[in-house]
Structure 1
Amino acid sequence: MKLRGSEVCVSLLVCVSLALADWSPPQNLSVQSLNTQYVLRWDWADDQQSAINGTITFTAQYLAAFKSRKPPHQHNWMTVCADVLERRCDFTDAKLSYLGIYLLRVRANTAQHFSNWTNITFCPDKEADLGPPSSVKLTSVKGDLEIVIADPLSSTNKSMKTLVNDMQYLIHYWKQLEGYQKAEVLKTQNNVVTLSELDRWTEYCVKVQSRYDFYNKTSDFSDIHCTRTEGLIPYWQIFLYFLLSLGVCFLLGLLVWFSFYKVFKSFKSIFYPNVQLPSHIQELWLSDSETPHLLPPPSSGSVWDQLDMISTETDTVPDIQISIPEDQDTSVPSRHGSGDSGFNSTEEDSSLRQLSFTRHDTRTDTHTDTHTDHRCKTDMQHREEMHDGTLEICA
């Protein structure tokens, strides 16, 4: 297919016009700054040309304002960002003087084409925002509040007071119960401030902001810090503390005494148990004046006879056995030495009478015989402990 001459000329003119056409430059340039941190931002909305010509990058530069008065060929622009895809450029590391005035510019470009430059004037001392204090410390000292303020810091961690000599601080303080609406403001250039004439034992809150009056710049507030003021303790509180201490001491003493009593009682029950004597022994002790002693006082020449009584259901009278100690002479009639031979007969008659008295009808009173046998056996156990000169009589 062949083209006419006029068509060829028109197509060539269109191509040349597209190649030489100027792109729209970046718009809405602004600098976001805080102390000595500067970031240049811009907008660029020619997306149709970006789709046709490929990837679009941006270049940002700066020049001192006093150098802009020289001829254009002597302008020594310093490039900070070259062919960046983002629509921002950080000028913090460019070390711009805080008191200087600078021209900032940016353009859009590709590998073969670029747009016109867009310029903006920037003065850090006038336009850069002032930051709040880097730290605030609040302490209570003898009823007053002591505030220690640290200066805002630059990008190189230096005090901003070296760049802003007239910088001041606005201290806002208020009672926590009343709220910030009733806050009082104190302006000062000092880094250590003491708030006096405050209410004792009251919670106060403080926040601080930086202030530069020459350009009417005020920073954001610092964090809020609260503390309680001190003061002399009232007398009623001292008396109340005294009563509380007495009560605590009394309770502790009572607890110690109760613990000691429990421990003492436990040891006493272990080493000295409360064991009662049998009831029949207690009765003997209580009736000591009426009942003869279990063991009569021993005498050197006395001879005792032991009588054992055995009851049977038969009516036969058991034989009476009289045991005489072997160490005594059988020829001697008695220990009294009276020579009366009727002692043995008299004793035998009394034994027979006692036997006849105890031999009642066993069929009617069996309990009495059992008690008598038990008592007789008990007497035998006691009498067996006597010396060998005892006379035993078993019936």
Structure 2
Amino acid sequence: GQSSLQSPENVQVHVVNTNFTLSWDYSGSHPNVTFSAQFQWSELEPTGWQELPGCQAVAGTGCDFSSAISEYYDDHYVRVRAQAGPLLSPWSPTLEMVPEHVAQIGPPGLELQSTNGVIKVKVSPPEANQRKKMWINDLSFKYNLVFWENSSHAQLQRKNIFPVDTIDDLAPDSTYCFKVQANLPREAKEGLFSPISCVKTTQKAVNDLLCATNLSVLALNMKFHLLWSSQGKQEVNYNVQYLYGFLKKLNDDYSDKWLSVPRCENITSTWCNFSSIITTTGFYYLRVQARGGHNKSCLSREVKVDPLKTNGIGPPGVRLDLSDTLLHILISPPGGAEDEVMRNNYDLSYRILYWKNSSDEGEVKQKEVKQTIATVPDVSPSTLYCVKVQAFSEPYNKSSAYSQQECIHTPAGTHLSLIIFGIFTSALLVVLLVVTPLVFLLYQAYNKIKYVFFPSCQPPLNIEGFGAQPFSSPYLSAAEEAVEHCCVIESVITEEGNQIDFTDYKHSTRSSQDSGNYSNDNNSSGSKGSKETLEKEMV
């Protein structure tokens, strides 16, 4: 088409909850101009630009396209152009937006009820009872209430409230106006205020003198006590009630969810030990119901108890001990060693102050430890040392009072070198007493073994063969025994010739058995026969 028309400018999208409005500026002067818009998002990319429902042939400079958007966390693209008959303007610059990023929180609902001198406030989430929601989790809203007395000198008051809450400290028979907004602190989003609503307060039906006042909580080492004050001298019975804190975050009425604290029902004292109901996983609200004559009752103000924040840390226990030149400081955690809640939740550390309790040296020294045992080295002999300890928790920014001062007197000193020498001498003596007999016994055993298995003396020759064959049988015949024949010949060579003179001859036969052995040394007949035989062989 022809393009003699100007393009729309300053295209903007306004989002409140799930309500989407498109607006633009147009400076052209052509009469009968209409505007049309197109949009695109990731699921429409294959098909390209599509007509934006609710924004076709619009005569004004704005349109509502809430019905066209269903995905609030995806990128969307929008453009607008002008049209007058056959004339078409160029498309405006494309506007990119993510609905959830540009959306504003709409105004919440507000209901007011005036009763017994107080105003009960009930707030409903911005998208209550709507099928399509921009804000999925209604419980994540924080509500900021602004109220003032409807007078010429009104002063604005602000209060963070729960969906169901009570506003007290208001003047009776006076008109107060209220407005509220829903915020999302984590997303840095502040909502729009609700329309202003006004209501008139009433007189209190019960005399204030009956109510419990000045409620306070005293908590130490996870032992919790509620204290309050009574008014007047009339006889009053009290009932202490508590409410789980998470119930106030819900959008429902919690007035019937209050419970009585065990052993604090129908009491006349002005204190209550409510440690039995406390855990570290939540927070609580407490109040005191007072009952007087003629069945009259009055509820006190509520007091909030966040156990780990409300609780105070008591001083730890301290015990001192000495060994040589060391001072040992033994610490008992607050609440006692059996109190696991204190140890497990507060991540306790300990600040130790110690000093010499003498007139000339009074300098206080400090050390911080995580353990329950600390050591001070090189303490002086014959000196009084004093210690006190404080427990503290860095995560909760809490600290206890210091423990009672504990002191210990070190014994008279002994020169360190003498102590070391004494220890060395004692150790050496012990070693000598234990090792010397052991070495002696080992030496004796060694000699016995060596004597039996490795003797140093050889047996005589006449019995040498006896032990050579320990496994030979004594029943073998003489013919089967190995016999060794030996002879000794002494010869003399003369100058006259080469004749050999047999001057001596010995022949012996030896067997391995005594019964078969014999000697021929003194047998002359045997010797002569052998000599003659040998001479014949030599010739």
- Per the normalisation by structure 2, the TM-score is 0.36
Larger radius of gyration: 1
Which has more helix, going by share of residues? 1
Structure whose residues are more often strand by fraction: 2
- The answer to which structure, 1 or 2, has the higher relative contact order (CA under 8 A, 6+ apart) is 1
